[in-house]
Amino acid sequence: MSIKENLVEVNGLKKYFTVGHTGFLSQRPIYLKAVDGISFNIFKGETLGMVGESGCGKSTVARTMIRLHEPTAGSVIIDNSEISKLNHKELNFHRKNFQIIFQDPYASLNPRMTIGDIISEPLVVFKNRKQVDLSFKEIKDRVKELLTIVGLRASFINRYPHEFSGGQMQRIGIARALALSPKLILCDEPVSALDVSIQSQIINLLQDLQDKFGLTYLFIAHDLSVVKHISDRIAVMYLGKIVEISGYKEIYDNPLHPYTKALLSAIPIPDPVKERSRSRIILVGDVKYPADTFKGCKFYDRCQQKMEICLTSSPELVDKGNEHKVACFLYN
């Protein structure tokens, strides 16, 4: 059995946003706890899926990891470099090792730039920093190669984003992310803005690119059925916390956390007989506001199996064997 090697280590990562102040005299800040002390790792060559409903902090995790948001606390180590402690110049040097694919292809591509300029921009920037040793002709050839790799024609190089469909624009975003041959790509809900018929094409493309170039992905989505097809492991988030993490098969066959069970029960089954006979877990109650100072489990108000301890203490992730970790007092 081969030993898995970490590419990413996240320890106690927090990202709080100041959303106001309490009182007239004290003026103590009120924080929105978008990411509240999470820890996880990603092995080289694997895909870690991260799921949860909208607003749970998934995208903030990705952006904070690569310091599009500055972390409030915690550490992020990517390829043995502690990204969270680098100064601006050092961070720019390491940025070629990690890239991001954004959720909305329409908003992430500059409408005033040609496709060739969009994809070549990372190469030109790092050429000016003397980290890419390519001539401008070689950069142009590289852009044509990238277009072909993602399933587009090299002749599209002089066209503008508005001339393409949503799926084609996302392919352009993927080509841009590949330009610097990164080790890690953060996929921030890359298919949620696309038609269902196009989603599978993009997922298949990402899998083919991973096999071809040995890429490592953090794949963020709110749809467990989408994540299942691309992930090696899955982390389930709820209001800034990871509540369960395990291999994708273990998560689907043996979910432990009540929230994970509720998410899985919402996935439709393409069999009318089975769909009618199964029972769904309907969550009641309100989602807590992330700035709430409540000290218990954040899922308390919606949980059907809550206990007294859940009201006063927040559970930590515990290993239940087979690399299956869950944050719930039912198992702690």
pLDDT of residue 222: 84
Contacts of 58 (CB under 8 A, 6+ apart): 50, 51, 52, 188, 189, 220, 222, 237
* pLDDT tens-place values along the chain, 332 residues long: 457 899 999 999 999 998 877 777 667 888 889 999 999 999 999 999 999 988 899 999 999 999 999 999 999 999 999 998 999 899 999 999 999 999 998 899 999 999 999 999 999 999 999 898 999 999 999 999 999 999 999 999 999 999 999 999 999 999 999 999 999 999 999 998 888 889 999 999 999 999 999 999 999 998 787 888 899 999 999 999 999 999 999 999 999 999 999 888 877 777 676 666 667 777 777 777 776 677 889 998 899 898 999 999 999 999 998 889 999 999 87
Write out the H or E segment, with its range, that includes residue 6: strand 6-22
Is residue 134 a contact partner of residue 125, using CB atoms and an 8 Å limit?
no
Task: Kindly report, residue by residue over 72-113, the tens digit of the pLDDT.
Answer: 999 999 999 999 899 989 999 999 999 999 999 889 999 999
Q: What is the β-pairing status of strands 241-247 and 233-238?
A: antiparallel
DSSP 253: H
Q: How many residues would you count in the chain?
A: 332
pLDDT of residue 134: 92
pLDDT of residue 271: 65
* Closest listed residue to residue 114, CA positions, set 76, 82, 147, 67: 147
Residue 124's CB: how many other CB atoms inside 10 A? 15
pTM of the model: 0.92
* End-to-end Cα, the chain, rounded Å: 30
Write out the H or E segment, with its range, that includes residue 195: none
Task: Kindly report, residue by residue over 172-190, the tens digit of the pLDDT.
Answer: 999 999 999 999 999 999 9
Is residue 231 a contact partner of residue 48, using CB atoms and an 8 Å limit?
yes
Spatial strand order of the sheet with 28-43 comes to 28-43, 6-22, 73-78, 81-82
pLDDT of residue 1: 43
- Three-state SS for 188? strand
pLDDT of residue 283: 77
- Three-state SS for 256? coil
Interatomic CA distance for residues 16 and 136, integer angstroms: 42
Domain boundaries, the chain: 6-326
Is residue 41 a contact partner of residue 8, using CB atoms and an 8 Å limit?
yes
pLDDT of residue 265: 84
Task: Kindly report, residue by residue over 244-269, the tens digit of the pLDDT.
Answer: 999 999 999 999 999 999 888 877 77
**CATH class (in words) of the domain with range 6-326:** alpha beta
- Three-state SS for 169? helix
